[in-house]
């Protein structure tokens, strides 16, 4: 009889705890929803062209201005954002259990899977194409995206895709997490490719303009161009670099 009473009390306490935990979680969700709505309403000079929702962060992209925002919620439920331009991206990594398993960096022509750290197996397009499939079971406790940014105030940013509980690489949750990592890597690989191409174009343009300036300098030295004409032509050529 005593054990039955103790069991019933324990069940009641457990039920009360579950109800309390659910209510706290719902309050946090409502707070996040309100913060998110207020943030979007107050967002100026930013047109959202793409959006990626990860479990612990949100990514917003503005292709027209070549900018992106990483939005996270703190433990206290506050919203924190980091805004960067596409040109500030130095590299992006996928980290599992503290080990980098995939990286893509500025001026790399392709991403690189790290030996011994297969990222997604058969999951995804880009990552699945780079890494070989694996049938071995792996226990994973964290999956993190890490950005290296050319910004002295915020040189690195971490975004958790999975954290806390352990999952096996054969679990559906693992597959979903890897698909999300694949989606993020795919998009940032396109951005990095575009930045690389822009740099190549600027480099070629700079070399061409340097040749033109050298020719005009000779014309000025020969008296064919005046100093004023030379300066006007020089400014016109230099503006071509700024507009690219």
Task: Note the pLDDT of residue 156.
Answer: 95
Task: Note the pLDDT of residue 221.
Answer: 76
Residue predicted with more confidence, 174 or 237? 174
**Nearest CA-CA partner of 88 in 111, 112, 65:** 65
Task: Note the pLDDT of residue 128.
Answer: 44
**pLDDT band per the 50, 70, 90 thresholds, residue 206:** low
**pLDDT band per the 50, 70, 90 thresholds, residue 68:** very high
The pLDDT of residue 235 is above 70: yes
Please, which residues bridge with residue 52 across strands?
A: 59
48-to-35, 157, 187, 197 alpha-carbon distances in Å: 17, 21, 14, 23
Percentage of the residues of the chain whose pLDDT score is greater than 90: 35
Please, are residues 168 and 174 in contact by the beta-carbon 8 Å criterion?
Answer: yes
Task: Note the pLDDT of residue 143.
Answer: 95
**Considering the chain, what is the average pLDDT of its residues?**
76
The pLDDT of residue 48 is above 70: yes
Task: Note the pLDDT of residue 133.
Answer: 43
Residue predicted with more confidence, 187 or 116? 187
**Nearest CA-CA partner of 192 in 86, 68, 52, 67:** 86
Q: What residue ranges do the domains of the chain occupy?
A: 1-42, 45-189, 197-243
Overall average pLDDT of the 135-154 stretch? 89
pTM to 2 decimal places: 0.65
Task: Note the pLDDT of residue 120.
Answer: 38
Task: Note the pLDDT of residue 62.
Answer: 95
The pLDDT of residue 87 is above 70: yes
| Tokens read off for 150 | 């050319």
Residue predicted with more confidence, 224 or 190? 190
């Amino acid at each position: 009889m005593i054990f039955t009473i103790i069991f019933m009390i324990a069940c009641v306490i457990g039920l009360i705890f579950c109800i309390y935990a659910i209510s706290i979680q719902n309050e946090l969700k409502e707070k996040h929803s309100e913060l998110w709505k207020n943030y979007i309403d107050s967002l100026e000079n930013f047109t959202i062209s793409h959006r990626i929702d990860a479990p612990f962060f949100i990514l917003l992209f503005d292709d027209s201005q070549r900018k992106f925002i990483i939005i996270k919620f703190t433990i206290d439920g506050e919203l924190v954002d980091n805004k960067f331009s596409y040109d500030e991206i130095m590299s992006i990594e996928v980290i599992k259990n503290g080990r980098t398993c995939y990286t893509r960096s500025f001026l790399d022509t392709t991403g690189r899977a790290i030996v011994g750290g297969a990222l997604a197996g058969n999951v995804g397009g880009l990552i699945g194409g780079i890494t070989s499939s694996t049938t071995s079971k792996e226990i994973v406790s964290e999956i993190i995206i890490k950005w290296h940014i050319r910004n002295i105030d915020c040189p690195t940013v971490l975004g958790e895709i999975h954290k806390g509980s352990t999952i096996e690489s054969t679990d559906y949750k693992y597959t979903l997490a890897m698909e999300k990592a694949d989606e993020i890597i795919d998009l940032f690989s396109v951005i990095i490719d575009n930045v690389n191409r822009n740099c190549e174009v600027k480099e070629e343009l700079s070399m061409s303009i340097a040749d033109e300036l050298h020719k005009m300098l000779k014309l000025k030295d020969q008296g064919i161009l005046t100093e004023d004409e030379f300066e006007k032509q020089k400014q016109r050529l230099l503006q071509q670099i700024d507009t690219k």
